[in-house]
Amino acid sequence: MSTTSLTTKQSLIIIGNGMVGHHLVEQLVEQGATERYDIVVFGEERHLAYDRVHLSEYFSGRDAASLALSTRGYYTEHGVTLHLHAAVTGIDRERSEVITDQGRHPYNRLVLATGSTPFVPPIPGSDRENCLVYRTLDDLDAIRAAAKNATTGVVVGGGLLGLEAANALRGLDLDTAVVEFAPRLMPMQVDSEGGGLLQEKIEALGVQVLTGRVTQRIENGEASFHRMVFQDEKVLETDLIVFSAGIRPRDELARDCGLEIGERGGVVIDDRCLTSDPAILAVGEVALWNNSIFGLVAPGYQMAKAATGTLLTSSSEPQGGTFHGADMSTKLKLMGVDVGAIGDAHGDRTPGAKMFRYLDEIKQQYRKLVVSSDGRRLVGAMLVGDNSVYDTLLQYYANGLDLPEDPAALILPSSEGTPALGPDALPETAMICSCHNVTKGDIRATLDAGAVDLGTVKDSTRASTGCGGCTALLKSVVDHELEARGVKVDKSICEHFHYTRQELYDIVRVEGIKTFGELIDKHGSPDTHKLGSSSAPMLGCDICKPAVASILASCFNEPITDAAHIPLQDTNDTFMANMQKNGTYSVVPRVPGGEITPDKLVVLGRVAKKYELYTKITGGQRIDLFGARLEDLPAIWGELIEAGFETGHAYGKSLRTVKSCVGSTWCRYGVQDSVGMAIYLENRYKGLRAPHKIKFGVSGCTRECAEAQSKDVGIIATENGWNLYVCGNGGMRPRHAELLATDMDEETMVRTIDRFLMFYVRTADRLQRTSVWRENLEGGLDYIKQVVVDDSLGLGAELDSQMQTVVDNYECEWANAIKDPEKLKRFRTFINDARPDPDIIVTEERGQLRPA
């Protein structure tokens, strides 16, 4: 006779459905906790857990659904009960129940993941209308609504969240100011030198910065809704105030039920995330460990992992996961400005610490190293204006690696840049992904268990699925470990071609292949069906088809709208316009060098008014016309081409713009004609297709008003000619260009640019910017100099010829398309109906139409 033991599940309640609370649920599900617990989650907000790290993107088009970390279906699938818009009002520890408006709910174990709340200083008038905070999606909705009737906005608080909020107000077209109590911005992360440089860069973006200001009261304004009165009785008027002056733990539930609370707030926890009541745990920003509150998501995730271990072990079992504090190093981009802080960045927690500082006021970069008293260990670092060395410095710090003989070399500029640490130099304990606490050892173990590619490693460890900052390092480690195990790392462009982009380029060039069909027929992978050239374009994928289209255009510059090439193009190239989020398109005529006649300005205004297009002057010295319907594009371009305009290639991986200052023509400081040079260069390279978009800048003197040193190709005038800079870029990962040659005459400079661009086109990987190409090129800038300037490979004449072919074969793609009735058939929303798209809905804002 046998007996069956029936085990009743315990009740586990989690209060809070933020990022950390949701991550705890994921950890519990992955560890099989639903077999032991009935899990119930209470979330105070009406939204599912969402990504607060990218909260500001809510103002640039993302919605609650796209920011959500999960779905209701996930909770249902795993048997987790989720209550949203359901606040817990109390905890009855004697009866082991939580109290809500809907009743009482018993628990065996309870986790507080209530997070934090914005701190609003006790300033008289801070509760006035249009005094808001920046924390939740509902807060952002309130800010957006208030901004509709405002022209100015002020953020109180100059820390990380304060600058995020200021960027949001600036994005809502408000004249924005930041008021900070401390003598500098981001006082926790940067010192006075770094703070001063950061303030310069923020003010250069049009945001007023007031530091060392204490707001005494907020009252009615005269010209604006509010007047802020400071300690010296100076005033600042504004329509909207956003408080972002720090956070306070949401510990009121814990405080009211008698749990131990820290002197300055926060629920006291031990290494297992247990509170003073062993039935209750706390994680995230509400938890106080070793007298510290951790305001970043990565430590919260580590607490969630430790709490999962605690919940799945008993007091008699060996301890599960534990929390031993967290590294608060941060790498940020605030309003496009890099800021990095590692370890003891101020050097005030390390006895005898030595410091190295580097400040470049022209490039606006500040770097600081803090090393141990013996100079052997990195204990902290600070970066403003350039985070390119952050990852390398973080590995030295996190893993206690021996510093080079001259530590200053890590932050000083050099022709080769700061050498990155290779994967083999990292110990097993090296933290690769801090969001999910994944070490190099974890990655090796995953590969030992059978993983054979990057995707499998990411699925298994979740590395690189948080903030994404570790993606490049993760790939480097995985590739290195696979190769060390004798596994060949496949660098094929895709499954259809077992070649790299560079190899495909060489095949196309050497064999004179001019169609995708011929290429895939001759060189497609063995499992590719051998179809004739007439049907072969239907093969391929979203990776190889645009890549081959770019290669063919780079080599032969035939119209991309030809029948043989059009199936290869993505949406933007297919319709020769950038698709916008509401299904309309942008029209961007070329304005070489930013120079335009009054007559052409009138044409742009007339066309924009006729077709009801949103009009904006861009940072690239052009005028963008947004909101064009697909069926209107040919008519719009017909009028523009008749007036002398050409396509601006804003949709293509090609030359976009050549930005210029007014140079010696107008400026009293100018030493060369930068406008004339910019127009010449833009007209020369306007048909060049490349692995990635290309931008130029031409400055008429060293004052650098065209920002040439942040471009792929930058030219700066000197008394003796032109200096040429290459491989810079703005964007998500800004990089300063590097000096390639000095004091060149015009003929030499143009020839050098020709060779540089064609060398990049033929050797770069797909979608690889010039800056990344240079970083991955063995030999770096010195090698580029040898090939391009010194012609060390004897390629000069060939590169010259290839560029001349591109120049000679240029034809405006839109001019070509509107002459061909067959090509115009593509420009309709419905195949058999000429009606416009009924789903395009617009609304008026500031006198122009925008997506509703």
Rounded Cα distance between 21 and 70, Å, is 12
Q: How far is CA 732 from CA 51, 93, 360, 510, in A?
A: 19, 49, 21, 36
Q: Is 433 annotated as a binding residue?
A: no
**242, burial (CB in 10 Å: exposed 0-12, middle 13-18, buried 19+):** buried
SS3 of 492, please?
A: coil
Tokens in use for 99? 């109290």
Please check whether residue 177 is in contact with residue 207, taking contact to mean a CB–CB distance below 8 angstroms: yes
Please check whether residue 332 is in contact with residue 340, taking contact to mean a CB–CB distance below 8 angstroms: yes
Q: Is 131 annotated as a binding residue?
A: no
Q: How far is CA 487 from CA 6, 355, 450, 452, 490, in A?
A: 49, 43, 12, 8, 9
**448, burial (CB in 10 Å: exposed 0-12, middle 13-18, buried 19+):** exposed
DSSP state of 68: B
Please check whether residue 499 is in contact with residue 491, taking contact to mean a CB–CB distance below 8 angstroms: no
What lies within 8 Å, CB to CB, of 711 at 6+ separation is 659, 695, 696, 697, 725, 728, 729, 737
N- to C-terminal Cα separation, the chain: 72
Annotate 828-845 with b (16+ C-beta within 10 A) or e (fewer).
ebeeeeeeeeeebeeeee
Ranges assigned E (strand) in 500-580: 578-579
Rounded Cα distance between 748 and 744, Å, is 6
Cα atoms in the 13 Å half-sphere on the side-chain side of 294: 27
Q: Which amino acid is at 492?
A: S
Rounded Cα distance between 309 and 190, Å, is 36
**What values do phi and psi take at 665, rounded to 5?**
-60, -40
Our CA dihedral for 396, 397, 399, 405, rounded to 10 degrees, sits at 40
What's the helix, strand, coil split of the chain in %, to 5? Answer: 35, 25, 45
Our CA dihedral for 402, 405, 407, 408, rounded to 10 degrees, sits at -170
Q: Give the residue among 557, 558, 544, 554 at the shortest CA–CA distance from 516.
A: 544
Question: CA 701, 705, 706, 712 torsion: positive or negative?
Answer: positive
Please check whether residue 572 is in contact with residue 649, taking contact to mean a CB–CB distance below 8 angstroms: no
Find the radius of gyration of the CA atoms of the chain.
30
DSSP state of 789: I
Q: Is 470 annotated as a binding residue?
A: no
Question: C-alpha angle with apex 423: 456 to 370, nearest 5 degrees?
Answer: 125
**798, burial (CB in 10 Å: exposed 0-12, middle 13-18, buried 19+):** middle
What lies within 8 Å, CB to CB, of 560 at 6+ separation is 549, 553, 566, 569, 573, 576, 652, 813
Q: Give the residue among 761, 770, 764 at the shortest CA–CA distance from 493.
A: 764
Question: C-alpha angle with apex 197: 234 to 390, nearest 5 degrees?
Answer: 140
Tokens in use for 232? 């010296």
DSSP 629-680: -GGGHHHHHHHHHHTT--B--TTSSBEEEEEE--HHHH-TT--S-HHHHHHH
Q: Is 541 annotated as a binding residue?
A: no
List binding-site positions: 661, 667, 701, 705
List binding-site positions for siroheme: 705
List binding-site positions for [4Fe-4S] cluster: 661, 667, 701, 705
